[in-house]
A and B are shown apart, each in its own frame.
Chain A
């Protein structure tokens, strides 16, 4: 039981590049979400999903896309990376009570 896994752990992009952050969970949770955490700050919700085929926007969705084709996977796509998207990204899944967080992806956009 791996819990929530995220890849890659670290990534450096140039402005304008696109990429996908991967997230997978093996707990059969319906609810999954993506957060970003800037230095010294709390977690801000980007997008979330309540099940396969259903997604919705969080507090800071601009510049990010998501899709949920399976229960297990919830990838986050950066369409055209900007320096303001430099952050640590956490994926989480939930059984409607406790949220289980992945280890995070540290993204730097130059």
Chain B
């Protein structure tokens, strides 16, 4: 089942913060976050694993609540380059820990 992302869209001014949420109805092994700019392929930002391990970029932070099967991506001091569509992808405990199911995305626009 597809994870649910919120909000669907957000507009920020440079320097403002944003939080994007992702929730799943099934038990998760990991949550992935990607950013996609218009006409381009998705680019990896962060992975959060069951048990607390995280791998990602320095300026991006995220959390994973294993009890609630929810993840949040925190974008602080936003820059124009942060604009794009953010997708969470989830790997369920029942899918051999490989197949990613993506949410429908959150469109983020950062204005000067």
- B41 and A103 form a contact (CB under 8 A): yes
Chain A residues with CB under 8 Å of B102's CB are: 35, 42-45
Interface size class of A (residues with CB under 8 A): 20 to 34
Say if the beta carbon of B109 comes within 8 Å of chain A.
no
Chain B residues with CB under 8 Å of A48's CB are: 98-99
Say if the beta carbon of A74 comes within 8 Å of chain B.
no
- A108–B67 CA distance with the chains assembled, in angstroms: 43
Q: Shortest Cβ distance from B8 into chain A, in angstroms?
A: 10
Interface residue from A45, A50, A100, A103 paired with B100 (Cβ < 8 Å): A45
- A59–B97 CA distance with the chains assembled, in angstroms: 15
Q: Shortest Cβ distance from A40 into chain B, in angstroms?
A: 8
Q: Using a CB-CB cutoff of 8 Å, which residues 86-109 of chain B contact chain A? A: 87, 89, 96-105
Interface size class of B (residues with CB under 8 A): 20 to 34
- B98 and A31 form a contact (CB under 8 A): yes
Chain A residues with CB under 8 Å of B47's CB are: 97-98
Interface residue from B89, B98, B101 paired with A59 (Cβ < 8 Å): B101
Q: Shortest Cβ distance from B46 into chain A, in angstroms?
A: 9
Q: Using a CB-CB cutoff of 8 Å, which residues 62-110 of chain A contact chain B? A: 90, 94, 96-104
Residue on B nearest A101 in the bound complex, by CB: B41
Residue on A nearest B44 in the bound complex, by CB: A98
- A45 and B99 form a contact (CB under 8 A): yes
Q: Shortest Cβ distance from B16 into chain A, in angstroms?
A: 25
Interface residue from A33, A42, A104 paired with B87 (Cβ < 8 Å): A42
Say if the beta carbon of A58 comes within 8 Å of chain B.
yes
- A100 and B99 form a contact (CB under 8 A): no
Chain A, 1-40, contact with B by CB distance < 8 Å: what is the 0/1 string? Answer: 0000000000000000000000000000001010100000
Q: A42-B104, A98-B47 are in contact. List 18 more A-B contacts (CB 8 A).
A: A31-B98, A33-B100, A35-B102, A41-B105, A42-B2, A42-B103, A43-B42, A50-B98, A90-B42, A94-B98, A96-B98, A97-B55, A98-B44, A99-B44, A99-B89, A101-B41, A102-B41, A103-B40
